Structure 1
Amino acid sequence: MAFPSRWLAKYWFLLALVVCFAVGHGFSQSLEPVAKWPPLRNGLVFAVMWAMGVTLKPDAVRRSVTRPLPCLLAIGTNVFLVPLLCLPFWWLLSPVEFGGLFVAALVPCTLASASVWTRKAGGDDSIAIMTTLVTNVACVLVVPLGVALVLAKQVTISPLDQMIKLALLVVLPLIVAQMMRRWVGRWADRNKLAISSAAQLGILMMVMIGAVSSAEYLGHTTGVSWWSQLPMLLVASGVHLAALASGVFVSRRLGLPAEQQIAVGISGSQKTLMVGLQVAIDCGVSVLPMLIFHLAQLVLDTIIASRWSAKHGVGVSTD
């Protein structure tokens, strides 16, 4: 019984992700009124971003500020390189699929897993934390501008409306959470696992909402099936791996130590599912690329982190 217990402890989120997506897709007609209720989506995003923000320790940010180069490399990879890697597929994918892929490339680094996977791989998680903070704050400008420049013909939401919404749903809860650490910081540190688990449950609910939208897209679009999404899986995996490898390669060429190379590679290539689903739904593009990108990065980075941890003699935790 030890093997299945260890396996479930390590991969329960992946399994829950598949189950929630299957439930949302299978019962899409029944769940559609709930899934299309904006206060639910907005509330979930706000609550999850707050939960992730309240567990971030300011000392990790201070440590990374003293070594700005790896942080700048990771931020540049996440904000600029990943969207650029997606542009060649403009001519190969349908507009709604490319729109979903480009939205996935524009959204910030994930607060949920970048620092955890970096730590598991033996990397410097302070770099990953700084990258998530900067890219999440910067997404207020990066996402609307990127959408306006590349997806203007198929997206109706105005850049200003998108900026305001992202500021309220992404930046504001992070600011509130950090301000609240003055009073609840010790409580948040003691209950970090419980808070992170609650945030993951919020992410799973958002996945279910995204699955309802994907079922509607698959049902109303001719010629689209799950088999037809295999190229998107290859594209998303390729973009993620190319960004990760580029971050590691450039860091190595600049003479950064191994733990910083790992942090740049992982945090520079990961994207947040929570914000990505919200933006994709608002923009009216397919949510499938965001879901596929997130699933691909979880699976691939689990494998990569395990290999790196074994190479550097780091024990892989399950937190």
Structure 2
Amino acid sequence: MSLRKAEAVLARFGFDRYMLLLILSVVLATILPARGAGAAILSQLTYWVIALLFFLYGAKLTTATIVAGLTNWRLQLSVLALTFVLFPVLALALKPLSMIWLPAAIGVGFLYIGCMPSTVQSSIAFTAVSRGNVAGAVCAASISNLIGVVLSPLLFAALIPQGTGFGVEPAAIWKIVQQIVLPFALGQVCRPLLAGWLARYRKPVMIVDRGSILMIVYAAFSAGVVNGIWQVMSVGSLAVLVALCLVLLAAVMGAAMLAARMARMDHADMMALLYCGSTKSLATGLPMAGILFAGQDISLIILPLMLFHLAQLAVCAIIAQRMMGRLDVQAAR
């Protein structure tokens, strides 16, 4: 089998080059973790990379698209309800269950998943493949991330139990404002000047975007490897963690489909709700975790989000492929 054919097969199950690079970043951190002076330099570099990442997010976000999509208030409110209400409730329910078999930091990681905003690129792409409401998905995912930059850390701080050894310091909220909110806002201000340049050079911008995430993953897991993450997490523990992630994903997807039917949404809106309401953003979650959990077991805390992200891409890719095939058969009749 050629490399291109192998990539095509993997892509059908949600594993594109980017996801494979994410996995390789964890492998590299396991084999060659950053230590000592190298880790200190990487930490400083990661700080500015995160600021650049959110500046680009702000510059790429089309305000007109959000305003236009707000007219479909039923879809937008449904996505926000799933993302910031149902998800945290389910994560709270799974947190004590996960702590029966897994380290306490993993339970914190489940709660962290529940507080994250929706994905942007993948939820829009899956909506398009499934012949869904792409404009509505763009709006829903963008609004989710716009709100999530502020709401997610506050929601997590409100839900995390006191006295557990994990938590959010008030200083961390201010760091998020400095490192994420301000660059994002500056990107929005600069958008009129940068929109044309960003449209012309999409590939370099995408490389910076995804390369930043890979660097954050490598830095986080390097710290975890140095602190003995793989001595704490066995193969059996990873299997339990993956199973819990799939349970969480299935519960939210089921709720999304039920909500769409109860609201009598058409197929297009139903697909947008399914993908935007049941997915969580790695691109927002990893940088924010680096600020919120500085000095804590960050690699263990973000591990559930990493695995959930992989699971959601694989499951959504399978659903989107089957949905496209079903619609093609119906159109041919």
Q: TM-score, normalised by structure 2?
A: 0.83
Who is 2:67 aligned against? 62
Deviates most, 63-72 or 106-115: 106-115
Q: Distance in 2 between matches of 1:31 and 1:259?
A: 52
Deviates most, 280-289 or 89-98: 280-289
Aligned ranges 1:107-186 → 2 under 5 Å: 107-139=116-148, 140-153=150-163, 154-158=165-169, 160-186=170-196
Q: Percent identity?
A: 21
Q: Distance in 1 between matches of 2:319 and 2:139?
A: 21
Deviation of 1:71 after TM superposition, in Å, equals: 0.8
The answer to whether 1:297 aligns with 2:297 is no
Who is 2:219 aligned against? 209
User: What are the ranges of 5 or more consecutive residues in structure 2 without an aligned counterpart?
Assistant: none
Q: Distance in 2 between matches of 1:212 and 1:293?
A: 20
Deviation of 1:204 after TM superposition, in Å, equals: 1.5
Count residues with an aligned counterpart: 312
Alignment root-mean-square deviation, CA: 2.7
Deviation string, structure 1 residues 109-167 (Cα, Å, up to 9, x no partner): 22342222322332223333333333333332332332343243222532x32332333
Who is 1:317 aligned against? none
Q: Distance in 2 between matches of 1:35 and 1:296?
A: 32
Q: Distance in 2 between matches of 1:56 and 1:29?
A: 34
Deviation of 1:182 after TM superposition, in Å, equals: 1.0
The answer to whether 1:19 aligns with 2:24 is yes
The answer to whether 1:247 aligns with 2:278 is no
Q: Contact 2:130 / 2:271 at 8 angstroms: preserved in 1?
A: yes
Q: Distance in 1 between matches of 2:226 and 2:20?
A: 23
Q: CA separation of 1:90/1:11 partners in 2, compared to 1, >3 Å: closer, same or farther?
A: closer
User: What are the ranges of 5 or more consecutive residues in structure 1 without an aligned counterpart?
Assistant: 315-319
Who is 1:258 aligned against? 267
Deviation of 1:233 after TM superposition, in Å, equals: 0.7
Who is 1:77 aligned against? 82
Q: Distance in 2 between matches of 1:69 and 1:228?
A: 40
Q: Distance in 2 between matches of 1:75 and 1:32?
A: 43
Q: CA separation of 1:273/1:151 partners in 2, compared to 1, >3 Å: closer, same or farther?
A: farther
Q: Distance in 2 between matches of 1:256 and 1:152?
A: 41
Deviation of 1:300 after TM superposition, in Å, equals: 1.6
**Given the alignment, which residue of 2, 5, 16 partners 1:3?**
5
Q: Contact 2:120 / 2:141 at 8 angstroms: preserved in 1?
A: yes
Who is 2:48 aligned against? 43
Deviates most, 259-268 or 205-214: 205-214
Paired residue secondary structure (2:265): coil
Q: CA separation of 1:271/1:170 partners in 2, compared to 1, >3 Å: closer, same or farther?
A: farther
Q: Contact 2:129 / 2:324 at 8 angstroms: preserved in 1?
A: yes
Q: CA separation of 1:172/1:304 partners in 2, compared to 1, >3 Å: closer, same or farther?
A: farther
Amino acid at match of 2:194: V
**Given the alignment, which residue of 214, 229, 234 partners 1:225?**
234
Amino acid at match of 1:198: V
Q: CA separation of 1:190/1:309 partners in 2, compared to 1, >3 Å: closer, same or farther?
A: farther
Deviation string, structure 1 residues 88-113 (Cα, Å, up to 9, x no partner): 22322232110011112212222342
Q: Contact 1:141 / 1:163 at 8 angstroms: preserved in 2?
A: no
